[in-house]
Structure 1
Amino acid sequence: MKEDFSKLFPDDREEHTNETVLRQSQLIMLRMLKIVDYICEKNSIDYWLDSGTLLGAVRHGGFIPWDDDIDIAMPREHYERFIEIIEQELPEDLYFKCYDTTENPKHTWGNVIDTKSRIIEKGAEDHISGLYIDIFPFDSYSDNFFKRNFSEKLHKHLFIKSFLVNAPLKKPFFKGSNLPKNIVRLLSRLTIIFSILNHKKIYNLSLKSREQRINSMKNNPKTNYGYGTDILNWDKVYDSEVIYPLKKMKFEDGEFSVPNNCHSFLVTQYGGSYMTPPPEYNRYTHFNHVEPIAYNKPCVNNEEKQFVTK
C-alpha cells in the first residue's frame, strides 16, 4: 500500500516564499530526500549521502550553503531493487527516471524529480526539468590491482582524459586551483592521441558494453566499491570498511545514512583539506534558472527553448 506522503512529509513550499530561491530549492529537495529515505528503509535498500551532500552533512550539518542539488549512492544490487519498486512508491508529485527505464535519459544514473518546480541546468539549456536528487550506483571493483586499473577502470580513464581535453578552461583562468587545472588542460591538448578523442564517442562506446561489465563486476568480492562502471566521470574506489556498516548523521532537520568512515571517504573524494570551504570564486552551482514553484508549467524536454530567454 502506497504511503500518504502528504501527511508524512507535507509539501510546504508555499510557506517558504520569503526565503531565497536557493533556500526554497534546498527545502524542496530535503523533503524529497526524506521520502527516498523512508522508501529505502521500508524496502531494506542501502543508500548513503554522497559527494557534496555528504560534505555538507559533515562540514555544515546540512546543505553546503551554496549547493543546489542532493547526491546519494547505492550498491548496484540495491540500486536495481530501487528501480523495481520506486515508481510504485513515490507520491504523484515526484517521478523517477534512469537509463534502464527511460528513453534517451540525460544520465546513466538515476534521478528522483519534482514535478512542481522548473530548472534549467548549466550546459543543458534546451532541457527543462524539475529539482532532483542524483542517485549513483556503486559497483564492486576487483581486488586484483591490474584487473581493477587496466580493465574495469579503463573506460573511465579514457573518458576522463578525453573529457579533460574537450572541457572549457575554468574561470577565473589564473586564480587558485584553476591555474594548475588550466595548465594541465592546455598541455593535454598538445598531446595528439588525446586531442583526437571525443568523450561523447567514448561514452557511447562504453554504453554498448555496459550490461556485460555490470554483470561481470557483480561477481567480484564485496571488498572495494566505486562509482558504477557506467558512471564515467568519477574514478574513486573505496574499501568496503569505509562504507560499511552504514550509520546515521544529521543533515538539516533529519538523520540520514552515511558511510561508516566519512573522513576517509571525503579525503579520497576531496583531499585532506575538505573541511576548508573553497574561496567564493570557486563555489559552483548547477542551474542557470530555478522556479521552486511552477505548478502551471510542467517539466518538458526540448519543447520550451523559449523559456531560456524569459
Structure 2
Amino acid sequence: MDKVELTPELLRELQLKQLDMLVYFRDFCEKNNLTFWLIGGGLIGALREGGFVPWDDDVDVMLPREDYEKLPSLWREQGMDGRFRLLKTDDEVFTGNIFITITDTNYTMVKTNQVDVDIPHGLVLDVFPLDAAPDGRFARKRQLVWTMLYSLFLAQVVPENHGGVLGLGSRVLLGIFRGKKIRNKIWRACEKHMKKYKLSENKCVTELCSGPYWMRFEYPKEIYEGIDYVTFEGLKMPCMSGYDDYLTRVFGDYMKRPPADKQKPHHDIAYLDLNTPCEVYDNAHRKTDKG
C-alpha cells in the first residue's frame, strides 16, 4: 500500500491543525477537573523546541486511570461529539486501538492499519491511561499477561514485530476465539484484572495501554504527583512535575536531537486531505466497500 509522503511543509500544516484539538481537550479537562499530562514527543518538543518536534506527526496525552474512566461518560453527557469525536472500542464500535482517541472531523487522515475500520478518519489525539503497577514481582508479571491478552483481543491483531512463540500464540488465540462476543468478553475480563491496582496503594505506575514496549516500564508514582506547565506552540499545557525524571528514564538525554536517520514521522498514513472533512472520505469508502 502506498504511503503519504509528509514533506516538511505538509507536516507543519498537519501539526498546526492539530492544535485546535489539543486546546479543545485541555479546556474540557479543566472544566471537568480531570488531570492530564502532555507526554512523549509532545513534551520533549515543548521543552526542547518550544512546540512540535519538527518531524513529529501527532500529540499524545495521558490521564490517571480514574480520570480516564470518567472521560467518555462526561464527554457524552455534555454533548461534546461534534467536530471533535471521542472514539473508544466497546460493544458497538471497533477502532483497532487499545486506548481512547479524539478525532477532528474537519480533516481527513487514514492510517494504514485502519483503512478498513469503520470510524471517522480525522486527525487524531491519542489519549492514554496511567495505571498502577503492583509491588510484587509475580503480581506484576501477571498484570503484564492480562495486559497482553487485553491488547490482543481488543485490537484483534498480532502486535507488529512480534514473531516467534509470542506471535504464534497470538495467532492461535485469535484463531480459536473468532466471535465478536467472546472476544469482547475476554478483553473486558482482562481489563478488569490488569487495572485493579490503585495509584494510592502502590509505589510505581506504568503505561499499560501504550503498546507492548511501553507497558514494561515502571516509574515512581511521585513523578506524577504534582502538576507543572510547559509552553507548547505558544499554549500553556500541563505535564507531570517530575518530567525530567520521566523523560530521562525513557529517552536519556532528551534535550539532544537524535541522529538524522531517526528524525522521521512514526505513523504510516495511507491518505491525507487537510482541506476536506473526513465524512466525505468515510462515505465514499463505505460505498466502495458495498460495491
Which whole-Å CA distance do the structure 2 matches of 1:214 and 1:303 have between them?
Answer: 36
Q: Provide the residue aligned with 2:204 in structure 1.
A: 224
Please point out which of 59, 63, 68 is paired with 2:57: 68
Following TM superposition, the consecutive aligned residue runs of length 4 or more in structure 1 with deviations greater than 6 angstroms are 157-160
Please point out which of 31, 36, 51 is paired with 1:42: 31
Which whole-Å CA distance do the structure 1 matches of 2:97 and 2:284 have between them?
Answer: 16
1:55 equivalent in alignment to 2:80? no
With over 3 angstroms needed to count, the CA separation of the structure-2 counterparts of 1:69 and 1:229, relative to structure 1, is closer
Which whole-Å CA distance do the structure 2 matches of 1:46 and 1:112 have between them?
Answer: 16
Which whole-Å CA distance do the structure 2 matches of 1:249 and 1:145 have between them?
Answer: 35
Q: Provide the residue aligned with 1:22 in structure 2.
A: 11
Which whole-Å CA distance do the structure 2 matches of 1:296 and 1:251 have between them?
Answer: 26
1:119, 1:130 within 8 Å by CA — same for their partners in 2?
yes
Partner amino acid for 2:246?
F
Structure 2 counterparts to residues 117-156 of structure 1, below 5 A: 117-127=107-117, 129-148=121-140, 150-156=141-147
The 10-residue stretch of structure 1 (63-72 or 89-98) with the greater mean CA deviation from structure 2: 89-98
Which whole-Å CA distance do the structure 2 matches of 1:242 and 1:296 have between them?
Answer: 38
Q: TM-score, normalised by structure 1?
A: 0.72
Offset of residue 197 of structure 1: 2.5
Q: Provide the residue aligned with 1:198 in structure 2.
A: 170
SS in 2 for 1:198: helix
1:115, 1:299 within 8 Å by CA — same for their partners in 2?
no
Please point out which of 85, 89, 93 is paired with 2:83: 93
1:254 equivalent in alignment to 2:235? yes
With over 3 angstroms needed to count, the CA separation of the structure-2 counterparts of 1:112 and 1:135, relative to structure 1, is same
Which whole-Å CA distance do the structure 2 matches of 1:57 and 1:218 have between them?
Answer: 30
1:29, 1:131 within 8 Å by CA — same for their partners in 2?
yes
Offset of residue 53 of structure 1: 1.5
Please point out which of 204, 210, 216 is paired with 2:190: 210
The 10-residue stretch of structure 1 (98-107 or 57-66) with the greater mean CA deviation from structure 2: 98-107
Superimposed CA distance per residue, residues 139-193 of structure 1 (whole angstroms, 9 cap, x where no aligned partner)? 1121223322x21123457899xxxx9745xxxxxxxxxxxxxxxx8xx74xxx3
Which whole-Å CA distance do the structure 1 matches of 2:82 and 2:188 have between them?
Answer: 33
With over 3 angstroms needed to count, the CA separation of the structure-2 counterparts of 1:99 and 1:281, relative to structure 1, is same
Please point out which of 270, 280, 285 is paired with 1:298: 280
1:141, 1:225 within 8 Å by CA — same for their partners in 2?
yes
Partner amino acid for 1:39?
F
Identity across matched positions, percent:
24
Which whole-Å CA distance do the structure 2 matches of 1:255 and 1:53 have between them?
Answer: 13
Listed as ranges, the gaps of 5+ residues in structure 1 are 1-18, 169-184
Listed as ranges, the gaps of 5+ residues in structure 2 are 1-7, 152-157, 178-182
With over 3 angstroms needed to count, the CA separation of the structure-2 counterparts of 1:35 and 1:208, relative to structure 1, is closer
Structural RMSD (CA):
3.5
